[in-house]
Amino acid sequence: MTEVLKLCHEATGDEISLPVSEGTVRATDLLQLKVRGEPLATFDPGFFNTAVCHSAITYIDGDEGVLQYRGYRVEDLAENSTYLETAYLLLNGELPTAGQLADWEQTITEHRQLPDKLRILLNGFPYDAHPMSMLMASTAAFFTFYPDSQDYTDLASRALNIARLIGKMPTLAAFCYRKGKAKPYVDPDDSYGYCHNFLAMLFKQAERKYAADPRLIRAMEVLFILHADHEQNCSTNAVRSVASSGNDLYTCVSAGVGALHGPLHGGANEAVLKMLREIGSPDQIPEFVAAVKRGERRMMGFGHRVYKNYDPRAKIIRKAVADVFDITGVNPLLRVAQELEKIALNDEYFASRKLYPNVDFYSGLIYEALGFPPQMFTVLFAIPRTAGWLAQYQECVTDPELRIARPKQIYTGAGHRSYVPIAERG
Ligand code: CMC
């Protein structure tokens, strides 16, 4: 039996019936009800309570702190899987067999190289360009090299371009990093796995082979798995919105990179480090927390639109911090972060608003310990999120319910005015 919600306009007595399906009513059903002659709409800046698509990729229970990709708990994937296996899962809906995984890894390895002309583009950026801006421009520029991606209905071409982008993302990121350090680029090494090769392209010096500590490779895999997807967040929404007008996947991912760059989204890990450095030492924390409570500061790396409990990714990263610091030595800001977390979790302001550490609270500390400058932190988020963006892109462009994204507005500007010639303006 269909559940129905009745909505009555008290002033006129007009009543409409809204069928409830999957816990939602259709916003367009509200159009039937006229209020002062105008069809009723909803007002929802920031999409607090508006579902924009059906999706079978990622499930989050924010109250319980649950995150699942295609039904698998992120904790299990972080424990047992690799990033490329997780990417396959996100894109195809199932974990690969051993044979499928070997083929997928081989395909991705074959697509690691950047086009020569893209290197020229990278060289053209200022020496101190932000790597996220370089990443955004370069991902968009890929479309000029791979225009076949325009036909997103062609399954083979879509699969090829997805593999191209997942393969090239670490190379692009490593080149952006080395450009900032005025170091020569290191070409991909096909004998290494995805994360090992990334570390080699970043940190190789004069040695013939770069041998990364296996614990660091594993830490990188875990960080990449945790960042691979997060359902309809700001950057995924940007990807889907740009896809809705019929764009190729490079243009869409470039939009995602741009959205991710913001300090309230992926840029938060960079902002956390800045905040911890500003606080400086545990004795300065009470003053900082008081400024947050007065609304003068924001506690970066805390709070989440969906999680009203400890972010499950933050829990795993907190554990990884210890493993990485065993190898790299302890980042002295860890003490400030731990003390800040302790004080905030016991403070009424944070408790009443259900503000807990999110994925970005500890990830920056790891990245810094690994030798990355803060501008690279969000790039390290963008590489693995590419799998999620592409899975969401794929789902979006094959969705029979897809319509071009076009929200309504409530106009608050001037009414009609007669044009004033320039000579008559005061
Ligand atoms: N520090 C202090 N107060 C906060 C914070 C914070 N980090 N986050 C939320 N609040 C307060 C906010 O002021 C508001 O209080 P009041 O009800 O008194 O006005 C209340 O909590 C609700 O916050 P909101 O801004 O309505 O929540 P939102 O869902 O719009 O914002 C958020 C979510 C993530 C943008 C926000 O929590 C924030 O700015 N956090 C810091 C930035 C950050 O760490 N971002 C990374 C998010 S996780 C990675 C990702 O997926 O991108």
Q: Helix or strand or coil: residue 43?
A: coil
Q: What is the pLDDT of residues 30-81, one digit of tens each?
A: 999 999 999 999 999 999 999 999 999 999 999 999 999 999 999 999 999 9
Of 62, 74, 67, the residue nearest 306 (C-alpha): 62
**Active-site position among 196, 230, 261, 304:** 304
Centre of ligand 1 from the C-alpha of residue 381, in Å:
19
Residue 274 contacts by C-beta under 8 Å, 6 or more apart in sequence? 300, 374
Of 57, 105, 59, the residue nearest 81 (C-alpha): 105
Cα 244 to chain centroid distance, Å, stands at: 19
Q: What is the pLDDT of residues 392-422, one digit of tens each?
A: 999 999 999 999 999 999 999 999 999 999 9
The CA–CA distances, whole Å, from 168 to 78, 114, 164, 174, 271 equal 23, 6, 6, 10, 27
| Domain coordinates in residue numbering, the chain | 1-42, 57-399
Concerning whether 304 is annotated as a catalytic residue, the answer is: yes
Q: Which helix (H) or strand (E) holds 396?
A: helix 377-397
Residue 426 has pLDDT above 90, yes or no: no
pLDDT of residue 245: 97
Distance CA 266, CA 136 (A): 14
pLDDT class for 244, splitting at 50, 70, 90? very high
- CATH class of the structural domain 57-399: mainly alpha
Name the residue at shortest CA distance from atom 47 of ligand 1.
265
Centre of ligand 1 from the C-alpha of residue 54, in Å:
26
Q: What are the structure tokens assigned to 147, written together?
A: 């225009």
Residue 22 contacts by C-beta under 8 Å, 6 or more apart in sequence? none
Q: What is the pLDDT of residues 160-206, one digit of tens each?
A: 999 999 999 999 999 999 999 999 999 999 999 999 999 999 999 98
Question: For ligand 1, what atom is nearest to the CA of residue 292?
Answer: 2
Distance CA 174, CA 379 (A): 9
**Residue 250 · residue 160 · CB < 8 Å:** no
Q: What are the structure tokens assigned to 58, written together?
A: 């990622």
Q: Helix or strand or coil: residue 262?
A: coil
Query: pTM score, two decimals?
Result: 0.93
pLDDT of residue 27: 96
pLDDT class for 383, splitting at 50, 70, 90? very high
